[in-house]
Amino acid sequence: MSSTLSRAQQLLTQLGNQTIVKLSTYTAVAASHRFSTSTSAAKNDMSTGNDQKITHWVNLADASGEFKRGQSAFRNWISREPGARFPPEKGRYHLYVSYACPWAHRTLITRKLKGLEDIISFTSVHWHMGDLGWRFATAEENVPGENTGPDSIHQGVEHLRQIYFDVDPEYKGRFTVPTLYDKKSKTIVSNESSEIIRMFYYEFDDLLPEQYRKVDLFPEHLRKDIEETNEWTYNDVNNGVYKCGFAT
């Protein structure tokens, strides 16, 4: 166990302070825009597939004023099991993220820690969520951040929502990051970050060199403690900032 922790610590160090600073900076900048109270922002609220406005994440008819996070719509699973619909394959899957989204951060971090950079590609959308949700930066904008630019998978696509509608023309949910996309079957595998990182934990191990197979981010004997910690950190910290931001 100590060797596993040591290896994980080494890999975390390799991420570098510069990367962490960049992620934090993008998050802070995006937050200042997202919670803007300007009149122009109020007039340009993003609509989801069901015409719900981004400012209506809190149900105005709910007397509690509580922020209630919706369920992720795509909950498929990459699996090493024989006959799995989504088997682990090098170059098959593509991750859509935003450097302004902490939920997306953890998928990038797990991808790095497990040595999946050559197996799973990624694109970062523009850090600012606009009228139509997350959009892809143009090459001319020269937005900082690795792989922040036009979508390399869908030529000409300007917004993430277009990919969702391409997969399901009747889609009624939100167009969220991270989104894990299957290039072979042209569909979305998952848009639930907690499940994406768990796929990354083990399902690609057969494709990895030994040094990364040994990186165990969810060891059996610690799972109970991890789940208990996840419960309170999610409710009180990770989701807590949204509860504060949308408090009435």
pTM: 0.76
101 counts as catalytic: yes
- pLDDT at 36 (0 to 100): 36
- pLDDT at 132 (0 to 100): 93
- pLDDT at 248 (0 to 100): 60
Give one DSSP letter per residue of 166-215, joined into a string.
Answer: HH-TT--S---SSEEEETTTTEEEE--HHHHHHHHHHTTGGGS-HHHHT-
Q: Find the catalytic residue in 46, 97, 100, 101.
A: 101
- pLDDT at 245 (0 to 100): 77
Which two three-digit tokens encode residue 241? 């900032």
Q: How many CA atoms lie within 13 A of 154 on its CB side?
A: 22
- pLDDT at 67 (0 to 100): 52
Of 138, 137, 111, the residue nearest 193 (C-alpha): 111
| Three-state SS sequence of 85-122 | CECCCCCCEEEEECCCCHHHHHHHHHHHHCCCCCCCEE
What pLDDT tens digit does each residue of the chain (248 aa) get? 555 545 555 554 554 444 444 444 444 434 433 333 333 333 333 335 555 544 444 555 555 555 555 667 899 999 999 999 999 999 999 999 999 999 999 999 999 999 999 999 999 999 999 989 999 999 999 999 999 999 999 999 999 999 999 999 999 999 999 999 999 999 999 999 999 999 999 999 999 999 999 999 999 999 999 999 999 999 888 888 888 877 76
Residue at token pair 């989801």: 48
Q: How many CB atoms lie within 10 A of CB 5?
A: 11
Q: How many CB atoms lie within 10 A of CB 97?
A: 26
Helix (H) or strand (E) holding 124: strand 121-124
- pLDDT at 64 (0 to 100): 56
Give one DSSP letter per residue of 205-246, joined into a string.
Answer: GGGS-HHHHT--SS-GGGHHHHHHHHHHHIIIIITHHHHHHT
Q: Residues 6 or more apart from 105 whose CB is under 8 A from it?
A: 23, 27, 97, 99
Q: Looking at the domain covering 2-245, what would its CATH class be?
A: alpha beta
Structural domain spans, the chain? 2-245
Helix (H) or strand (E) holding 24: helix 17-34
